[in-house]
Amino acid sequence: MNSIEPRFRPGDRVTVREVRLDTHHRTPSYVKGKQGRVDVLCGMFPNPESGAYGMTGLPRRTLYRVEFDQTELWGDRYTGPRIDRLIIDIFEHWLEPG
C-alpha cells in the first residue's frame, strides 16, 4: 500500500505484518507479528526493498518510528526494567492497525 496521507498517527497501536520473505527487507523477524505504538511519523522515503534490486524505490513509502515494549518482543526472557523499549523504523506497508 502506498498512501499520500499517512495511515497512522503518533500514539496509534500497530501490529507488524507477519510475512516471511526470502528477499531483502528491512523489517527484522523479531518484530513480525508484534504489537507496538507509533512514536514518530518520519516522512516518505524510497522503498529500500525494491532499491536493493537496482530499482528506483519509487513510489516513496511512509516511514514510521515504532516503539515496542521489550516484554512484547522477548516475553519472559527479558529481565531488564519494564520501562525499557525498543524503537525501530518501519515502513507503512509492514503495519496493520492494532
- What is the DSSP track for 18-39? ----SS--SS-GGGTT-EEEEE
E strand or H helix at 62: strand 61-69
Measured distance CA(78)–CA(21) in Å, rounded: 27
Residue 8 has a pLDDT of 98
pLDDT in tens, 14-58: 999 998 877 667 899 999 999 999 999 999 999 888 776 777 878
Does position 3 have pLDDT exceeding 90, yes or no?
A: no
Structural domains in the chain, CATH included, are 13-97 (2.30.30.50)
Closest residue by Cα to residue 10 from 56, 45, 42, 47 = 42
**Would you call 92 helix, strand, or coil by DSSP?**
helix
Q: What's the whole-model pTM score?
A: 0.88
Confidence of residue 81 (pLDDT cuts 50, 70, 90): very high
